Structure 1
């Protein structure tokens, strides 16, 4: 009879109750080692081990080329036996990077600065994730917090609540900020209501921040034009031949696109300049 091998603690007993509980042995997570993560059943080859959030993680790639990340340590099987994955032993340590993903020079042994009163606001989660991936190291050194605005329609109300002032500046990154657009009209009105130089609104010309990623990163020569009446992100997913049925598909599609971004070189200059200018604005010493 078949049984669910994960319906109970797989380390609690072997096939025979009288057999002593197996003990995990330490195994270095060398590239190419095929392991199984017990809780999820995910089987894949080790592609890399890295530090994330102060802890070591291991990235496993399955036969279909999909990857998942797990915490390094116990909870894995190799060749049918429990193991504790440890960092691989390398004969020569790779040189520490000298530049951040944004191209800035790495500040050695820098700790995250206490958050400033000033903020950078972005319209949505995808904007925030892209800014974090490329400028995250710089923002932590500078003590700048990026917050979600959830749409430019909320900008005026959010500024009323925030009360910008000297030492509490707000830099806002807006999608599709082009002459004659709704976004431009809102921005003009907001800047009239909040004079004094403590609010700066900048934007890029793209319908969505996805377009700020160079299309070559996803195998396109240019981002396609989507017909009116089709929600832009769903239209893009369809053109790419990716699933496009619901918000889960949108989230997974964005994850794939974001995964192709390695540094500022994978982004369009029209976004790079705007983000750099906003960082300078909120970190200026009055």
Structure 2
């Protein structure tokens, strides 16, 4: 019989392109973005209006986010599709809020002789929010100075020594600033690290507190009061609650603050190892 709708026997058979293998985007999985060539380990998953995103971190610590499109990634040269890992019920996080690998839960170790001094309670609270697990595991105590003007007196009382080091975290540590002058001569066994932001609030990424940028405040106006007035945040106590609620991990903080805190932790914890 004549099959008007039959397949042309002389035509080439249709070949369907195999679908890329789906791979769960587990933390620390190393993949390459096929379009850009960026290669890094999975450090997080995010959402956007365009779809699910994966955040990759390369060996230099740089991070980028990519849409989890079908066949958008390579593993050992093989095209794959990244998908969200299946939920397996409540699990302990693999890393701490600072990005360090979470150690098995144990009792906090005895406090070290060394200390980290910070300017105020907001600085201390942010360190606890992000590095609290690390600080307890290492036995590092954070002390609030209640103002950098009190640094000399605090160090005189503390009496830094080779195995009793002092790390100092300073806001607005830039050339010519009051802060730079106050920390110019801190003596031996003391390390001063800082960031360029006027206040530790400003070291929180604007997106984390749902603003486009931190406002510029005129000289002579209290910075926190001016920020709260421009953003409609009420008084500084209300503003601080907004800032703190926007910070859950190191990803919410700017790199200069992250770098300084990590350097101070290394400095004070190395004191006992040196002995």
TM-score, normalization: structure 2?
Answer: 0.65
By how many angstroms is 1:230 displaced?
A: 1.7
Deviation by residue 1:66-100 (Cα, 9 ceiling, x = unmatched)? xxxxxxxxxxxxxxxxxxxxxxxxxx641111100
- Determine whether 1:278 maps to 2:272: no
Q: Who is 2:110 aligned against? A: 114
SS in 1 for 2:172: coil
Structure 1 outlier segments of 4+, above 4 Å: none
The unaligned stretches of length 5 or more in structure 2 are: 1-87
Does residue 202 of structure 1 match 2:193?
Answer: yes
Q: Post-superposition shift, 1:157?
A: 1.5
Distance in 2 of aligned mates of 1:166 and 1:141: 22
Q: How does 1:31-50 map to 2 (within 5 A)?
A: none
Question: Which segments of 5 or more consecutive residues in structure 1 lack a partner in the other structure?
Answer: 1-91, 244-248
**Correspondent of 2:137 among 133, 138, 141:** 141
1:161 lines up with 2:147 in the alignment:
no
1:266: which partner in 2? 252
Alignment partner of 1:215 is 2:201: no
Residues of 2 paired with 1:268 and 1:258: CA distance?
14
> Which residue is equivalent to 1:257?
243
**How far apart in 2 are the matches of 1:154 and 1:282?**
20
CA distance in structure 1 between the aligned counterparts of 2:123 and 2:245, rounded to whole angstroms: 14
State the partner residue of 1:226. 217
- The structure 2 residue matched to 1:241, chosen from 207, 232, 247, is 232
Instruction: Give per-residue Cα distances to partners, 1:221-254, cap 9 Å, x unaligned.
Output: 22110012221101111111121xxxxx312210
3-state SS of the aligned residue for 1:188? Answer: coil
2:100 equivalent among 99, 104, 121? 104
CA distance in 1 between partners of 2:238 and 2:210 (Å)? 17
User: Aligned-pair RMSD on alpha carbons?
Assistant: 1.4
CA distance in 2, matches of 1:133, 1:205: 21
Give TM-score scaled by structure 1 length: 0.63
